[in-house]
Amino acid sequence: MIKLKLLFSLLAMTTFSSFAQRNPLSSDRENFFRFGAKGGVNINKIDGQSYKDGFNFNYQIGGFLQFNLTNKIGIQPEVSFVQSTSEFSSGADNVYDDLFLGGGQRKAKLNYLEVPVFLNVNLGPSKRVKLQVGPAFNGLLKQTVDSLKTNADIFKKAEWSAIGGLWVQLPLINLGARYKLGLTDINDIDNRQTWKNQAIQVFVGITL
């Protein structure tokens, strides 16, 4: 009887070991549909002649839907509130001398509703690390600029951008980093200068 039990035990262990070797990623299996929320920093700048060099630290917060179409490919739409800030350089007075008051403080704060749609590509066999690339539509909710002579808006209400980065999907927690490149000239005054947004986005969140 003892030998029979031992034989069954060895057989069960061998079968389990063989199954685990054939399915090493079973614990990484993802559902077709997932959703969640994330938040983090938006390290942004406006690239243009009238703006100071260097990035500014702001924040972002939002939610996402995730559709895992195959073991390698998925689609991830998102909606996020993103804040950006920038500061005009003294050179802005030379071009737009009728735009600013006499004060030296000329900072801009822009609040965007950002709606990207990402293509997710799993890197490696684990499905934990995803390459993300895709377009984003950015709607300007509010713009505040110090020391203006005019009440007119100087930034365009909408822009398109391209975003790419890495997403790390743990069982509950997600984290990642992305680079955002503006494709639209957001200068709504004239065509004398081209202004485009850039940002590095770093975030952490939960996935359900």
pLDDT tens digit string along 70-83?
A: 989 999 999 999 99
The answer to whether 108 and 144 have CB atoms below 8 angstroms apart is: yes
- Kindly report the pTM of this predicted structure: 0.82
b/e code 114-138 from CB counts within 10 Å (16+ = b): bebebbbebeeeebbebebebebeb
The answer to whether 176 and 145 have CB atoms below 8 angstroms apart is: no
pLDDT digits (tens, 9 = 90+) for 172-204: 999 999 999 999 999 999 898 999 999 999 999
Tell me the C-alpha distance between 103 and 147, whole Å. Answer: 6
Of 23 and 61, the structure prediction assigns the larger pLDDT to: 61
pLDDT digits (tens, 9 = 90+) for 24-72: 434 456 789 999 999 999 999 999 988 988 999 999 999 999 999 998 9
User: For residue 65, which of 56, 74, 73, 57 has the smallest C-alpha distance?
Assistant: 74
Question: How high does pLDDT run on average in the chain?
Answer: 86
Count CB atoms within 10 A of the CB of residue 183: 12
